[in-house]
Amino acid sequence: MLLTEVNQLRSGGTDEHVTVLIGSGAIGLYAASELVKRGRRVIVVESGGVSLGNFSPESYASVGVSHSGIRISRSRSLGGTTNLWGGQLVEFQPVDFAGRDWLEGSAWPVTYAEVAPFYRLTYENLGQARETHNDDAVWKSVSSERPAIGDEFEAFLTRWLRIPSFAVMFAKHYESREKFTVLTGQTVVGFEGSGERITGVRVVDGSGKLATIAGETFILAAGTIENSRLLLHGASDESWQCPWRENQNIGTYFQDHLGGKVAAVQPNDTRTFFDTFCTIVRGGYKYQPKFRLRNDVLARDRILNIQGMFAFESSVSEHLVYFKQFVKAALYSRKINGLGDLYRNVAACSNYLGPLVWRYLWDHRVFVPATSKISLLIQAEQGAVAESRIRLDRRVTDGYGLPRAVLDWRLSGHEQASIAEFARRADEALRCAGLASLTIEPDLKAMNPKFMSTLSDTGHQAGGTVMGKSEREGVVDRDLKVFGTSNLYVGGASTFRTVSNANTTFTALALATRLVYHLCGEHPPD
């Protein structure tokens, strides 16, 4: 059911055992769907509506390292940030969980071996066929082999969802299942509880009407910034004995990836290079080839986890992107506007439509014009530091009475050296493999601090409610339960201790799968 009024919940039988999920983004809708499959009744509470919406300027501010993602990479609407992302799925690696003695607080209280089985389950729950999970099998399906890039690097594939918006993906679930309720236009502004048990969340609608939604279990899945904001605000509420009031870790260890160009690329043979690194399209699925340093190299040489990918730019790139977006819109029966723009863009790239279709159907690759300029882009892990954090500014409140969240993003100082070493080794490995040579950005090669200003955040916000073995180390335990409570959990990348080189959403979803197993008393898979 899709509802807008709290009083409509009464007709749904709120005397049942209810799990309340705060936020209808990737974690909220996905976890709710999995719980409903197991017979649980769920209520998903969403502050926004069904149309794409943003957070008000009064609700956030950014100081410290410039961070544009707090403004442009978040969505206050049904589906949350999945309305903005591309739907890319990438797994974390063993080194990301194990901890590194030179990185502060980098050890997770769960191991890679404990999380890995839930990646497979999450792929399947998202509709990714089992034969698509193995990189070698995908390369073999396009008559190729995994590229060899020296002894220190490994090539890998990222996967892309066919339907990135979870509001669309799970629409049939919440529209047709009796125990699946999505309540829009209701902003959570506080908690109610007794002792270690949460009994309800207080919500306010657009007209200022207050209400309480009761439940048996609560999952905070409002996104990295909002998860910390709500917990910090709850800790300052004097109307009840908040169980996490004394936890000083809330808001700490905020992280994001650093992304940008590190080098220009000169391929030795254009066709070979394109066959190695152009995006694969096979059986309706899309895979992007990338490369990274091996786990043992990262541990041995004290380098942050970084992935490299190649960007192709030509005079018709913009027109090709527009054409592909139009075709995608038509396939998914979305509303199509701007036919004049379509004709203009098709005309601009008309000479390439034949090769584009041939490349797609015969080689199972995305077409790239041979004259394209090629750049090496990186997505780099940052070293987590406790001083990088989210705070509240109570002098400013939004329209719902919540204080402003202030992001003070800070880096550890290890980042530029790791990026420079990655680029140097990538140049050497690509040359030795006979694939290409790199012209590394001069400021990076010279270790000029100015280079860091050319990089940006990537919208992969994490930390603020990190996992820990105890309240001294984190905000939630290994099962994502908030320390001091018996029934409040946190989902999403805000619980991460490190961010790997990989996009964060897929690991957050795998941990949500693990949480569902925990809540339902199911044994983890082998």
Residue 16 pLDDT level (bands cut at 50, 70, 90): low
Within a domain: 347:
no
The Cβ of residue 199 has, within 10 Å, a number of other Cβ atoms equal to 16
Arithmetic mean of pLDDT, 68-87: 94
Are 267 and 436 in contact by the 8 Å Cβ rule? The answer is yes
Domain span at residue 100 reads 1-126+165-256+383-410+460-526
For 263-298, what is each residue's pLDDT tens digit?
999 999 998 998 899 898 888 889 999 999 999 999
Within a domain: 8:
yes
As a whole number of angstroms, the distance between CA 64 and CA 416 comes to: 17
How many domains does the chain fold into?
Answer: 1
Within a domain: 361:
no
Within a domain: 449:
no
As a whole number of angstroms, the distance between CA 125 and CA 312 comes to: 33
The Cβ of residue 2 has, within 10 Å, a number of other Cβ atoms equal to 15
As a whole number of angstroms, the distance between CA 226 and CA 276 comes to: 41
Coil/strand/helix, residue 81: helix
Q: How large a percentage of the chain has pLDDT more than 70?
A: 88
Arithmetic mean of pLDDT, 77-94: 95
Within a domain: 367:
no
Q: What is the pLDDT of residue 4?
A: 82
Within a domain: 439:
no
Q: Strand 180-183 to strand 41-45: parallel, antiparallel, or no bridges (unpaired)?
A: parallel
The C-alpha angle 472, 300, 510, rounded to 5 degrees, equals: 55
Q: Across the strands, what pairs with 193?
A: 198
What are the structure tokens assigned to 451, written together? 């280079």
Arithmetic mean of pLDDT, 46-52: 93
Q: What is the pLDDT of residue 367?
A: 60
Q: Across the strands, what pairs with 203?
A: 188, 211
Are 94 and 115 in contact by the 8 Å Cβ rule? The answer is no
Arithmetic mean of pLDDT, 186-190: 96
For 212-237, what is each residue's pLDDT tens digit?
999 999 999 999 999 999 999 999 98
| Three-state secondary structure string covering 258-320 | EEEEEEEEEECCHHHHHHHHCCEEECCEEEEEEEEECHHHHHHHCCCCEEEEEEEECCCHHHH
DSSP conformational letter for 523: P
For 399-431, what is each residue's pLDDT tens digit?
999 999 999 999 999 999 999 999 999 999 999
DSSP conformational letter for 462: B
For 432-478, what is each residue's pLDDT tens digit?
999 999 999 999 999 999 999 999 999 999 999 999 999 999 999 99
What are the structure tokens assigned to 413, written together? 């100082």
CATH number at residue 497: 3.50.50.60
Q: What is the pLDDT of residue 132?
A: 87
The C-alpha angle 378, 384, 386, rounded to 5 degrees, equals: 155
Q: What is the pLDDT of residue 332?
A: 44
Coil/strand/helix, residue 463: coil
Residue 104 pLDDT level (bands cut at 50, 70, 90): confident
Rounded to 5 degrees, φ, ψ at 265 are -120, 130
Residue 351 pLDDT level (bands cut at 50, 70, 90): low
Which residue type does 247 have?
Answer: N
Least confident of 115-124, 245-254, 323-332, 385-394: 323-332
Q: Which run of H or of E encompasses 34?
A: helix 26-37
Torsion over CA: 435, 359, 308, 140 (sign): negative
pLDDT at 133 > cutoff 70 = yes
Within a domain: 467:
yes
Q: What is the dihedral of CA 357, 359, 363, 367, to 10 degrees?
A: -120
pLDDT at 392 > cutoff 60 = yes
The Cβ of residue 259 has, within 10 Å, a number of other Cβ atoms equal to 17
Within a domain: 21:
yes
Long-range CB contacts (< 8 A, 24+ apart) of 2-8?
2/50, 2/174, 2/175, 2/182, 2/184, 3/181, 3/182, 3/183, 3/184, 4/183, 4/184, 4/185, 4/186, 4/205, 5/205, 6/183, 6/186, 6/203, 6/205, 6/211, 6/213, 7/211
DSSP conformational letter for 206: T
pLDDT at 199 > cutoff 80 = yes
Q: Across the strands, what pairs with 19?
A: 42, 217
Residue 154: closest CA among 501, 395, 413: 501
Rounded to 5 degrees, φ, ψ at 408 are -110, 90
As a whole number of angstroms, the distance between CA 131 and CA 138 comes to: 8
pLDDT at 171 > cutoff 60 = yes
